[in-house]
Structures are given as structure tokens and as C-alpha cells.
Amino acid sequence: MSELKLLAGTLLYHGTDRADADEKSVTGRHAFWLAATLELAKNHALRNRSGTPRVFVYRLKSDLVLPTVRTPDDVRALLKKYELWVTEDELLQASAMAANLPGWAYPDANPLGAFIKLFDTSMLEYVETREVDRTSVLGPAA
């Protein structure tokens, strides 16, 4: 299994359109999804075509090395290797943290960039929130 290496200072993005989401409430309480590119996060923020689409920008405070998964077999192998419980998101997070697994990356999940799943968000520092303009991402028909 290969690895994705991210250096301290790398920017990561979380796109959302949930009205109750803010830069603090979305971190730390569950397995946290991030995008490696702003473009992917913008698209993710527009997935429901409702709410107020925005992207929270975070900076890594320290270097991070994540195993990569590309296929369902890779995911199963990772779950088995770290003996992760996947019955509920909270159990998955707790078992991953107990196994010292900060998360994993899906580098080929989308042509716009990698998806990153983190279980511990303490290595993230909030930078800013960017509003997402539907028309600039989806075109004038949006």
C-alpha cells in the first residue's frame, strides 16, 4: 500500500452547504473529510445545490503521512490491518485513533484531486472561509 505525504503548511479544504456548519463544529467529532484541492472542495460544497455553499480552509500544523486506498479491496485490507470497527462513525474514529491511524487518502477518487479522511483534526489550523459562487463553478445554467 502506498502513502500520501503532506508537509506542514499544506492547505486542505472542506466544502459544505450545511447551514449549521462552521469551521469549528465540523472538525473533531467524526471522521472528517477534506479535499486536497480548492476545486474539489467547491464542487463538494455544491453537491446538494442548496444552502450556503462555502469552503473552510485549513493548514496542516505538522507533516502527515497517510496510507492510500484506490479500490474496495484496499479499504478492506486497511480496515483489517488496523482492526478498525466500522459499524458506526464514532467507533471507526475511536478505533482508528487507538491504532494511531490519523486517516487515509483516496488519491484517485476524483479528477479534481484527492479526498482525505482524517480521524484526528488537532493537526489542522483554521485559515479562512471562502464563499462558493455557483455560477463560477457550475456555469450560467446553475
Q: Tens digits of per-residue pLDDT, 51-91?
A: 889 999 999 999 999 999 898 888 888 888 888 767 666 66
The domain total for the chain is 1
Here the cell at position 68 is 492510500
Say how far apart CA 112 and CA 46 lie, in whole Å: 14
Say how far apart CA 132 and CA 43 lie, in whole Å: 9
105 assigned to some structural domain: yes
Predicted model pTM: 0.84
* Alpha carbon distances (Å) from 56 to 3, 74, 106: 25, 29, 20
49 assigned to some structural domain: yes
* CATH number assigned to the domain comprising residue 63: 3.90.175.10
First to last CA, the chain: 40
137 assigned to some structural domain: no
Q: Residue 35: phi, psi to the nearest 5?
A: -115, 145
- Domain hosting 58: range is 3-132
Here the cell at position 22 is 462552521
Q: Tens digits of per-residue pLDDT, 106-127?
A: 998 899 999 998 888 888 999 9
